[in-house]
Amino acid sequence: MVVVKSVTCPICGSLCDDIELTIENNEVVKVKNGCALCESKFLGYKGEHRIKTPLIRKDGKLMPVSLDEAIHKAAEILANANYPILYGWSSTSCEAQRIGVELAEEIGGVIDNTAVVCHGPSILSVQEVGIPTCTLGQIRHRADLIIYWGCDPWSAHPRHLERYTAFTEGRFEKSDWKGYIQKVKAAAGKKKIESAVRRGVVKRPKAQPMLQHELVNAPPPTLMKEGRKLIVVDARKSMTAEMADYFIQVEPNKDYEVMQAIRALIRDQELDVDKVGGVPVEYLEEVADAMVNCNFGVIFFGMGLTQTAGKFRNIEVAISLIRDLNKRTKFVIMPMRGHFNVTGANVVFTWQSGYPYGVDFSLGYPRYNPGETTCMDILLRGESDATLVIAADPGATFPRRAVEHMAKTPLIVIDPHMNATAMLGDVVIPSAFVGIESEGTAYRMDHVPLPLKKVVDPPKGLLSDEEILRRILEEVRAIKAKKMREAEAA
């Protein structure tokens, strides 16, 4: 039995690196410090969906083959393709991503990562207006106003609050964990009383849940609180909103208006309307007031902002709000990146090619034009003639028409699991789990690089993504050199 400390968890963009794993007989048997997501991955990665051997589609069926055969076949497809797409990359290591870019360049293809369907709009906004941001520790030490907008860390980044924001102890700001416990206790007490009322112990009319129209008519609660304040803005009352000091429920797709209204308010402009995006102006005034009066504020935003109406314009206005606020106080903003190394993919693509995603090498140099050189658009236009998918599952998440084109053309899948995309694949190469069975590097949502550990050996015969890609690249070069020789001979 071995205990491995300081393991980085390969799940979400929080990249908690304090996980303790107990290993017995080359298997993880105990997880300490991790959240539910973390535990389920470390304890469940060996499940029934694991692909055990390389597969190639023969007569419509995926048949087991040797690794060499699968790699040769994959290389052949890529070397012969005219406009291939290499997609995925967000759940693998930077080392694998580096080889990915080299491979894309070698075959004149397009390399794109899953940011295109999550925080791609955020990147477009950064290219428009920049981004005032910081690492997560700055927030832990200094932030006295924390705003989550269009995201639900309690469910998607479960330890975010506890490690980096409201419930963590910083040098200048104290943890609000106690306040939260009190709140939970109060809520439990309230429930007990209500249940007593229901059971007829106390005769009183039943308390109705507050409806939207009542909320509007009720006087706005004030945000009177010492120390750290937690505000949640969302279209629904999420788990995170439950524990917030202040919650604003925005009508779906109205974030842009609300954000602009706050921008006006912090510039001391009067609003002529009573409500914006379904929210009474008094609520927004309260938030604007908290923003201007904090010492260090932060907005975290998620898919609720990037993928709703307005898309990158939402982020642009959010960042513009932060730019304005910095003239009054210190304020930063940060996207809640999802996959554990989606940030790394953007980082690696950028240092090698200058561009963060949707990089097209078909002209021999990197080109970037989201909407034209991005994976989804190419698939929908039916232009690609081969696809390599690694560490992602577009087969399950892309629109049908895009998946249809992907399935029609040769499809190579590198993944530990038999996911929807792998089922459509023509060549399927199983890989070791990075961060469990192979090592590497990943970038946290705030661009802090962290090492991923190898804690157990992979199943026999399985290579890491990095190794598989390196072998494909070598094979592609060999095939191209052979072709060249043949052409010269002819």
Partner 1 sequence: MTELLIKNGFVFDPINGINGEKMDIAVKNGKIVKSVNERKAKVIDATGLTVMPGGVDIHTHIAGAEVNTGRLMRPEDHVKDVVRKTALTRSGVGYSVPSTFVTGYRYSKMGYTMIMNPSMPPLEAKHTHEELNDTPMLDKATYPLLGDWWFVLEYLRKGDLTECARYVAWMIATTKGYAIKIVNPGGLESWGFGRNVRTIDDQVPYFGITPRDIMCGLAKVNKMLNLPHTIHVHTNNLGLPGNYLTTLDTMRALESVATGDKPVAHITHLQFSSFAGNDWGTMRSGAEEITKYINAHNHLTFDMGQVIFTDTTTMTADGPFEFTLYELSGHKWVNSDVETETSGGIIPFHYKRNNAVNATQWSIALELALLVKDPWKMFLTTDHPNGGPFFAYPKIIAWLISKRARMATLKKCHKKAQKLSLLPSIKREFTLYDIAIVTRAGQAKALGLKDKGHLGVGADADIAIYDINPEKIDIAKKYKAVRRAFGSAAYTIKDGEIVVKDGEIVKHVDGRTIWLDVKTAEQVKVDEEMKRRFKEYWTVEYDNYPVFDHYVKVSCPLTIKADV
Cβ neighbours for 249, distance < 8 A, ≥ 6 positions apart: 212, 215, 234, 235, 236, 237, 278, 279
Nearer to partner 1, 51 or 288 (CB): 288
Considering only CA atoms, which of 262, 16, 308 is closest in space to residue 145? Answer: 262
Q: Of 42, 45, 148, 164, which lies in the binding site for partner 1, with binding defined by CB under 8 A?
A: 164
Nearer to partner 1, 228 or 417 (CB): 228
Q: Which range of residues in 42-50, 136-144, 218-226, 285-293 is near partner 1 by CB under 8 A?
A: 136-144
Q: Which range of residues in 49-57, 64-72, 323-331, 383-391 is near partner 1 by CB under 8 A?
A: 323-331
Nearer to partner 1, 24 or 351 (CB): 351
Say whether residue 142 binds partner 1 (CB under 8 A). Answer: yes
Say whether residue 174 binds partner 1 (CB under 8 A). Answer: no
User: How far is it, in rounded angstroms, from Cα 114 to Cα 325?
Assistant: 31
Size of the site for partner 1 (CB under 8 A): 61
Q: Taking the CB of residue 449, how many other CB atoms lie within 10 A of it?
A: 14
Q: Which range of residues in 222-230, 234-242, 343-351, 462-470 is near partner 1 by CB under 8 A?
A: 343-351
Task: Scan residues 191-250 and list those touching partner 1 (CB under 8 A).
Answer: none
Say whether residue 133 binds partner 1 (CB under 8 A). Answer: yes
List helix spans (H) across 164-278: 177-198, 212-217, 239-243, 255-266
Cβ neighbours for 290, distance < 8 A, ≥ 6 positions apart: 145, 223, 229, 231, 246, 297
Say whether residue 129 binds partner 1 (CB under 8 A). Answer: yes
Nearest-5° Cα angle at 283, 187 to 241: 35
- SS3 at position 286: helix
Do the strands 275-276 and 279-280 form a parallel or antiparallel pair, or are they unpaired? antiparallel
**Contact assessment for residue 142 and residue 296, using Cβ atoms and an 8 Å cutoff:** yes
Task: Scan residues 65-124 and list those touching partner 1 (CB under 8 A).
Answer: 94, 98, 102, 105, 123
Nearer to partner 1, 94 or 429 (CB): 94
Give the burial class of 199: count Cβ atoms within 10 A of its Cβ; 0-12 exposed, 13-18 middle, 19 or more buried: exposed
Q: Which range of residues in 23-31, 134-142, 223-231, 268-276 is near partner 1 by CB under 8 A?
A: 134-142
Task: Scan residues 413-472 and list those touching partner 1 (CB under 8 A).
Answer: 441, 443, 447-451
Nearer to partner 1, 256 or 296 (CB): 296
**Contact assessment for residue 462 and residue 437, using Cβ atoms and an 8 Å cutoff:** yes
Smallest separation (angstroms) from partner 1 to the CB of 451: 6
Q: Taking the CB of residue 186, how many other CB atoms lie within 10 A of it?
A: 10
Q: Of 32, 50, 57, 141, which lies in the binding site for partner 1, with binding defined by CB under 8 A?
A: 141
Write the Ramachandran bin of 414: left for phi over 0, alpha for psi from -120 to 50, otherwise beta: beta
CA 95 to chain centre: 19
Say whether residue 278 binds partner 1 (CB under 8 A). Answer: no
Reading the block at residue 94, the tokens are: 């930077």
The angle, 0 to 180 degrees and rounded to 10, between the axes of the packed helices 255-266 and 281-293 is: 60
Q: How far is CA 464 from CA 347, 369, 416, 457, in A?
A: 20, 31, 10, 11
Q: Of 62, 71, 77, 136, which lies in the binding site for partner 1, with binding defined by CB under 8 A?
A: 136
Q: Taking the CB of residue 470, how many other CB atoms lie within 10 A of it?
A: 18
Say whether residue 138 binds partner 1 (CB under 8 A). Answer: yes
Smallest separation (angstroms) from partner 1 to the CB of 6: 4
- SS3 at position 417: strand
Nearer to partner 1, 247 or 357 (CB): 357
Q: Which range of residues in 135-143, 224-232, 236-244, 417-425 is near partner 1 by CB under 8 A?
A: 135-143
Q: How far is CA 270 from CA 284, 322, 332, in A?
A: 12, 20, 25
Q: Of 32, 313, 367, 454, which lies in the binding site for partner 1, with binding defined by CB under 8 A?
A: 367
Q: Which range of residues in 38-46, 182-190, 304-312, 321-329 is near partner 1 by CB under 8 A?
A: 321-329
Say whether residue 134 binds partner 1 (CB under 8 A). Answer: yes
Considering only CA atoms, which of 412, 319, 308 is closest in space to residue 128? Answer: 319
Q: Of 330, 377, 383, 467, which lies in the binding site for partner 1, with binding defined by CB under 8 A?
A: 330
Nearer to partner 1, 282 or 324 (CB): 324
**Contact assessment for residue 281 and residue 131, using Cβ atoms and an 8 Å cutoff:** no
Task: Scan residues 1-30 and list those touching partner 1 (CB under 8 A).
Answer: 5-6, 8, 17-18
Smallest separation (angstroms) from partner 1 to the CB of 27: 22
**Contact assessment for residue 436 and residue 455, using Cβ atoms and an 8 Å cutoff:** yes
Binding residues for partner 1, rule: CB under 8 A, are: 5-6, 8, 17-18, 94, 98, 102, 105, 123, 126-138, 140-142, 163-164, 169, 171-172, 295-296, 323, 326-327, 329-330, 332, 346-347, 350-356, 361, 364-368, 441, 443, 447-451
